[in-house]
A and B are shown apart, each in its own frame.
Chain A
Amino acid sequence: MKKTVFLSSLAVAALATGMASATTLEDVQARGTLNCGVSTGVNGFSAPDANGVWQGFDVAVCRAVAAAVLGDPMAVNFVPTTGQTRFTALASGEIDMLARNTTWTFSRDVDLGFTFVGVNYYDGQGFMVPRELGVSSATELEGATVCIQTGTTTELNLADFFRVNNMSYEPVPIETNAEAQQQYLAGACDVYTTDASGLAATRASFEAPGDHVILPEIISKEPLGPVVRHGDDQWADIGRWTLNALIAAEELGVTSANLEQMAAGTNNPEINRLLGSEGSLGEMLGLDAEWARRAIAAGGNYGEIFAATIGESTPIGLARGLNAQWTQGGLMYAPPFR
């Protein structure tokens, strides 16, 4: 009996760490679909719409990569993951990339064996409380019960924040955003904490969003970005430069409206290189010349995706803030396409 348990555990471990010998790009192309890990449902970032089609800011990154690699933005198999399961799913090869508001940290990048291909949203951890509590600052939260998604960096930031400010609190660990929302609305916790963007997205789905305030303190840096496995540099490059193509497209004024016209050739050589009418950037990546064109056509440039999914005109209503282009005082800065 003991031996069987040991053997089956090893079997599980072996399966979990089993890796295909071919490169990720070859695997994806042979399969014809991209397996993309997303959240179990955060409005605006990744959630299925009424027709069951995944929509959102993180989903758009998956679609752009699928368009660049496979030529079809809809050729994505979305795998919902929780904070706890996401890294195992990626490490085991169940998903090819993870676009699930995942914070770029040293230990995840170095020790867990992942590669962050960039940042698609600069975020920070915030607190949301019911307005009737009359709390105006996170430093007034002494003794509060805090709902928190387990397996995230927010869990660690929260512990640090309360320790530094010499306050006590009662953590209520929760597996998914939906459960956290239910617990928070039922009053089982006073405070819900997660990334500020997630709070805004969650609040937007409440019946009475006005009854809840997001406190002014942002207690951490949360650069969120897509993640791939360590060790396949070509695949990491594809992810990194697809994201950069979306950001650069906004900077260069390439939109889904003028894409075809610009792809025919412009007098700006960088646009020409980006869209493939000049140079051979696509080949260097192991793709064809029009990869970036398809990626931008999938959902528009970075600014268009932002505006359509989480921008100020949507119920989520997030301002660009840090996520504006560097020319607009933000941090979005794509390296040159050269």
Chain B
Amino acid sequence: MAIDSGAPKESFRLSMLLYDTRYRSITIQIFALFMLMLGAAWLVDNTVRNLAALGKDFSFDFLWNTSGYDISQRPLEYDSTSTHSRAAIVGLLNTLILAVMACATATVIGVVAGVLRLSNNWIVAKLMTVYIETFRNVPVLIWIIVTSAVMSESMPAPRDFRGEDATASMQLFDSIAITNRGVYVPSPLFERGLPDLTLGSLALSLNAIAFLVVVIASIWINRRLVANATRVQNETGVRPRTWWKSLLILFVPAIALLVALGFHLEYPELRGFNFSGGIQMRNSLIAMWIGLSIYTAAFIAEIVRAGIMAISKGQTEAAFALGLQPGRTMRLVILPQALRVIVPPLISQYLNITKNTSLGLAVGYMDLRSTLGGITINQTGRELEGMLLMMLIYLAISLLISGVMNYYNNRVKLKER
């Protein structure tokens, strides 16, 4: 049985698409989408046509050809007979190394500077203001180039370390050499080390993995111990003495492992033209690292300051009223709440650092932009493919970072129930 609603059923007319508010927004959206697709089609068509006009095809085969060039900083086994794809991976790893180093340093400097800018000490607060305003208002490329120039112009050359009347000497009991080609630090070596684990073309150091596993395990056991002590304290009111057990658990297994593996340090030594042995942190890496860190730290400092100031004064007063000391107030009351404000903008600063690593070209840092997007493109003439691939990789890294940070943000944000 059909119910007649009574209202006359109006038939659909074409003009209703434009004049009837029920349909108008859909019309506009479909039109906009159509224009967008048309634009995309035009661009693709134009690209294909011009590639054809230049006699070029679209192919990623070049990635499997021999690269022919050398890379100075190689986290992976690589030489000039390796493929372009391997050069790209080496570049990618260099990008990630730099990004991680710069993010960590920028966060530390940024948090310290942000907290100090709120200090009651006038000089400290003003100094931090000067630091923040200077560094974030000068382009990051300038800071990178300045750092690089300072390193290469004012540090001694390796040959100044040689001979009886050497004009330069090594620092810290002859273990660290600061030269105009970079800083050489001792590297860890193992006399009876485990062999490297080879997975395809990747070689993983079992020594490092074993050390990491032992350290993580000891930290976990120590936390169990402390939790147990807290439980005993809650039940009996007496906290068992744990400091010597903690020390034993934290350090003895790691030291025992190092001794068993025959751990020793290899010191850098002047041989031929350069220092050899030890780990070399090249000028390009140091310039990028310092440049990116101090620049981004200034932004992070402002984010931290904003986060702390967003917490109402009542919180501090309440904590004081409960008898908490200023340090514990900051750590237990203010910062956990401030993190909710700090983390989202912090994500974009981490993304900025990661993307700004592509400035490495300016000081010859062999990151993804310099290998895949620089020399490889130049030697193979595959600009379009190389650039697309590079954009895809940067996009993937950025999405990964924001994914991880969003997960963290969800954990610290206000739980609304």
Chain A residues with CB under 8 Å of chain B are 2, 5, 7, 9-14, 16-19, 83-84, 87-88, 91, 107-108, 111-113, 133, 141-145, 150-151, 155-156, 158-160, 162-163, 169-175, 182-183, 186-190, 230-231
Q: A9-B391, A173-B364, A187-B180 are in contact. Are A151 and B50 (CB under 8 A)?
A: no
Q: How large is the interface on B (under 10, 10 to 19, 20 to 34, 35 or more residues)?
A: 35 or more
Q: A144-B274, A190-B273 are in contact. Are A230 and B55 (CB under 8 A)?
A: yes
3 tightest Cβ-Cβ pairs between the two chains A and B: A187-B157, A159-B80, A17-B50
Contacts of A113 in B (CB 8 A): 54-56, 381
- Does A171 contact B55, Cβ atoms closer than 8 Å? no
Q: A150-B375, A173-B364 are in contact. Are A159 and B54 (CB under 8 A)?
A: no
- Does A10 contact B47, Cβ atoms closer than 8 Å? yes
Q: A11-B43, A173-B370 are in contact. Are A145 and B273 (CB under 8 A)?
A: yes
Contact with A along B20-49 (1 / 0, CB 8 A): 000000000000000000011001101100
Contacts of A145 in B (CB 8 A): 181, 273-274
11 CB contacts below 8 A, A to B, read A12-B387, A14-B43, A18-B50, A19-B50, A91-B383, A133-B159, A141-B273, A144-B274, A172-B364, A231-B53, A231-B55
Give chain A nearest CB distance to B334 CB in angstroms.
34
Judged by a CB distance under 8 angstroms, whether B271 is at the interface is: yes
Question: Using a CB-CB cutoff of 8 Å, which residues 321-369 of chain B contact chain A?
Answer: 361-362, 364, 366
Contacts of B364 in A (CB 8 A): 150, 172-175
Question: Which chain A residue has the least Cβ–Cβ distance from B154?
Answer: A186
Judged by a CB distance under 8 angstroms, whether B133 is at the interface is: no
- Does B391 contact A143, Cβ atoms closer than 8 Å? no
Contacts of A230 in B (CB 8 A): 54-55
Contacts of B318 in A (CB 8 A): none
Q: A144-B272, A150-B370 are in contact. Are A163 and B80 (CB under 8 A)?
A: yes
Name B's interface SS.
Answer: helix
Q: A88-B383, A113-B54, A174-B364 are in contact. Are A10 and B72 (CB under 8 A)?
A: no
Separation of A159 and B364 alpha carbons in the complex (Å)? 17
Separation of A173 and B384 alpha carbons in the complex (Å)? 23
Contacts of B271 in A (CB 8 A): 143
Contacts of A91 in B (CB 8 A): 54, 381, 383
Looking at the complex, which one of B152, B272, B370, B384 makes contact with A142 (CB distance below 8 Å)?
B272
Give chain B nearest CB distance to A14 CB in angstroms.
4
Contacts of A187 in B (CB 8 A): 152, 157, 159, 180
Question: Which chain B residue has the least Cβ–Cβ distance from A159?
Answer: B80
Looking at the complex, which one of A16, A83, A111, A163 makes contact with B79 (CB distance below 8 Å)?
A163
Judged by a CB distance under 8 angstroms, whether B388 is at the interface is: yes
Separation of A170 and B179 alpha carbons in the complex (Å)? 15
Contacts of B228 in A (CB 8 A): none
- Does A151 contact B375, Cβ atoms closer than 8 Å? yes
Separation of A174 and B43 alpha carbons in the complex (Å)? 34
Judged by a CB distance under 8 angstroms, whether B187 is at the interface is: no
Looking at the complex, which one of B43, B50, B70, B274 makes contact with A171 (CB distance below 8 Å)?
B70
Looking at the complex, which one of B152, B375, B384, B387 makes contact with A183 (CB distance below 8 Å)?
B152
Contacts of A11 in B (CB 8 A): 43
- Does B55 contact A188, Cβ atoms closer than 8 Å? no
Separation of A91 and B54 alpha carbons in the complex (Å)? 8
Separation of A13 and B271 alpha carbons in the complex (Å)? 48
Contacts of B181 in A (CB 8 A): 145, 170, 172, 188-189
Q: A159-B68, A172-B72, A174-B364 are in contact. Are A18 and B46 (CB under 8 A)?
A: yes
Separation of A159 and B71 alpha carbons in the complex (Å)? 10
